[in-house]
Amino acid sequence: MIPLSSSDTIVAISTPPGRGGIGIVRLSGSQAVEIASGLLRLRQTLTHGHAQVADILDPECGDSESARRLDEAVVTYFQAPNSYTREDVVEMAAHGSPVILEYVVRACMQRGARLARPGEFTERAFLSGRLDLTQAEAVRDLIEAQTLYQAKIASEQMAGALSRRIRPIKQALVELIAELEAGIDFAEDDVDLLEPSIIGARIATIAEPLTQLAASFAYGRLVRDGFSLSIVGRPNAGKSSLFNRLAQRERAIVTAMPGTTRDLVTERVSLGGIPLELIDTAGLRQAANGAEKLDEAESMGIQKSREAMADADVVLLVLDATAEELTREEITLLEQMRARRGLVVANKMDLTRGQAYKAALSFLDAHTPPVETSALTGEGIAALQEKILTSIHAQGTEAESGLVTNLRQQQAITETLRSLQDGQAALDASVPHEMLLLDLYAALRNLDALTGETTADDILNLIFSTFCIGK
């Protein structure tokens, strides 16, 4: 990692690649004002927090007052430490021509700036103490948000929601460590040692909110990464029609002929603000007594369907409510629904019900009957969406704010809890407080790793390298 340096000024285009109405070039570092002033004709001196219109000078005409204007830009200056990076920052918003923006970047580099690495502006904000690591990660999540709810959660994280939940936990741990240290260091001065029961109670008090935070990861991961739902069932049960209803467009081909779907068809939608990947699969069936042989394409499609079922967060089994009997595949899937997360839909409820529907009820819990739908008329689709949302929320605990949203955060909390458990075990074994403190200090280091106070450089490099250039 390149250390933060006041003599190292970086530059990058901060808007997405391509053409647009506006394109922004950002400078950060001690030479930001000097470099920007050298390629602009400013109307007045740059002032913190103020924007002004300036000319970008033609590279072939030099920097003199008589130089020709290449473009016009809105230039904004943020003086250190009142900027995103806590360094001097200059942002030049020109017209979004790649030619113009590339020229501005190259001109800045010729005057002493260095091209920024991916995420380096946010990295500098972290290294300067403006953001902790959970807030820095939330910047990336906000940029990558696909739904408004994702953006809301990321915005809360960026404002320090998770950090605020961690702060009192860390404070309680530090206070416990300090009291144990004092009891050891000042034992000759009649400083009372804490009773084991009191220490154990305080360790439990510290661990309880961390356990709640760890439980929020299941839901936080779904919010951040999305959710997959595999739609399975016999051929011509109406899987593709339901898929189109949930996708709200004619994404999959629907015909009256069974077995139309031979490959996986996917569509990403938003349900309750959570990204949901719908997977339409080939109809599941087996050749009957060898009298019928499945063609190669259908066999491959069925194999892919089974793989999609295994990988999906939730399986949606679609039954044909007009069928007279359940297939062997449906019976097997209904039995599996008892052991894994799944939903059952009785489709074609606008038609006459067959005996298969009644038989299916015997496999299901009385409190979880199948959702009755008609993909043709739209009946029951809203109820199905609600059922899907309920199954999503059942994957984890939804916190009001401060969710654990990625694996790194989850691992840091898990390691903290493990160290606290080791401390409790040491306490139960009546070991000296000096040994107990080793476990408590390990818990503190793991907690600091969550916010980035003790995170290794290679981990920071890995995190910020996933950002886009210019952020």
**The domain over range 143-216+402-452 is classified in CATH as 1.20.120.430:** yes
Tally of CA atoms within 13 A in the half-sphere of 169 that contains its CB: 27
At residue 287, the pLDDT reads: 47
Name the DSSP letter for residue 60.
G
- Please state which CATH number belongs to domain 227-393: 3.40.50.300
| Stretch 275-297: mean pLDDT | 65
For the chain, give the mean pLDDT.
Answer: 83
Residue 401 reports pLDDT greater than 90: no
Residue 316 reports pLDDT greater than 80: yes
At residue 202, the pLDDT reads: 94
Residue 193 reports pLDDT greater than 90: no
**212-221: pLDDT as tens digits:** 999 888 888 8
Residue 311 reports pLDDT greater than 60: yes
Looking at 14-50, which runs of residues are DSSP E strands? 20-28, 40-42
At residue 149, the pLDDT reads: 87
| Stretch 366-387: mean pLDDT | 84
Query: Is the pLDDT higher at 459 or at 225?
Result: 225
**405-457: pLDDT as tens digits:** 899 999 999 999 999 999 999 999 988 888 889 999 999 999 999 988 877 77
At residue 286, the pLDDT reads: 56
Question: How far, in Å, CA of 115 to CA of 118, rounded?
Answer: 10
Residue 360 reports pLDDT greater than 50: yes
**What is the pLDDT confidence band of residue 289, given thresholds at 50, 70 and 90?**
very low
* Range with lowest mean pLDDT among 10-24, 131-145, 180-194: 180-194
Give the residue extent of every domain in the chain. Answer: 10-131, 143-216+402-452, 227-393
Q: Is 143-216+402-452 the same fold as 10-131?
A: no
Tell the burial category of 49 from Cβ atoms under 10 Å away from its Cβ (0-12, 13-18, 19+). exposed
| Stretch 242-253: mean pLDDT | 77
| Stretch 299-312: mean pLDDT | 70
At residue 374, the pLDDT reads: 87
**27-58: pLDDT as tens digits:** 999 999 999 998 999 989 999 999 999 999 87
At residue 1, the pLDDT reads: 42
Residue with tokens 């020109």: 94
At residue 338, the pLDDT reads: 64
Q: What is the CATH class of 10-131?
A: alpha beta
Strands 89-96 and 227-233: unpaired
Q: How many CB atoms lie within 10 A of CB 414?
A: 16
Residue 4 reports pLDDT greater than 50: no
For residues 408 and 459, is the Cβ–Cβ distance under 8 A?
Answer: yes
CA R_g for the chain: 30
| Stretch 6-22: mean pLDDT | 87
Q: Whose CA is closest to 308, among 393, 228, 242, 254?
A: 228
* Range with lowest mean pLDDT among 60-69, 232-241, 272-281, 366-375: 60-69
Tokens of 385: 């969406």
At residue 219, the pLDDT reads: 85
| Phi then psi dihedrals of residue 228, to 5 deg | -120, 140
